[in-house]
Amino acid sequence: MTIEMFLSSSDFRRHYWARNHLGWRHMDAAVPNAGHRALAALERRGKVSGVITQNVDMLHLKAGNRAVLELHGSYGRVRCLDCEHRVSRHRLAELLEPANAEFVSRIRGRGAIEVAPDADVVVEDTTDFAMLDCPDCGGILKPDIVYFGESVPKAVVQQGYSMVDDADAVLVLGSSLTVMSGLRFVRHARRTGKPIAIVNRGHTRGDDCATMKIDGSCSEVLTGWLESDRDEIVGVNHRPS
């Protein structure tokens, strides 16, 4: 759903929140993999100064990373578009559940439900779902996530640039860098002369900027680096970001 669709109609918003209410806990239940855990361990050892992620799944935080910049927001937060009031997704679920007990019972009574890759449940009839407005001002509540058609907030982008400036090198993990929100930091690192290592299966838009490119599994590379306890990842003694 684009931001234009979300804002254009209460029916679109009801459809989104109904699907999300039924499925968001699938994402909430996701656990970090070996790569996430290795990256967190590398931060604790002082070899990673920070993580800039395009993902909204909070897995880096779950793994133990602390210096995490969530470029596209987080599924775990909801904000009011009018007054900027924020509430956790868990708290919103607690409020939505009693208001939609019959809706949930009706959908689950049909048997197995399909969960889409974004963790929303695939369901068409959502007309009887009850939405909630901002408890402070009555405004529109929206997941604190950058939708298609939205821009990453300028303050977040600037924080990302500062993280790159403060690092000795940049390490790209598991991203094709298709969208500019991530690619801009790689290009900024190149302009400032910082080494860049990319670990990804297949081509990325940042390959021409890379000091080193590894076509492979992020989990395997990171756990191997952790086990070898080496500082050298891009040819010199650097602390990647």
Mind telling me the catalytic residues? 72
Type of residue numbered 144: D
Residue 61 CB: number of other CB atoms within 10 A?
Answer: 18
- 207: which DSSP letter? G
- 240: which DSSP letter? B
Parallel, antiparallel or unpaired: strands 68-70 and 51-53 = parallel
* Cα(22)–Cα(8) distance, integer angstroms: 23
> What phi and psi values does residue 214 have, to the nearest 5 degrees?
-115, 120
* Cα(171)–Cα(91) distance, integer angstroms: 35
- The closest of 234, 2, 239, 23 to 126, measured between CA atoms, is 23
- The closest of 132, 152, 163 to 13, measured between CA atoms, is 132
Q: Token pair 């208001």 is at which residue?
A: 99
Classify the C-alpha dihedral 172-173-177-180 as positive or negative: negative
Classify the C-alpha dihedral 198-204-208-214 as positive or negative: positive
Q: Are 15 and 128 in contact (CB under 8 A)?
A: no
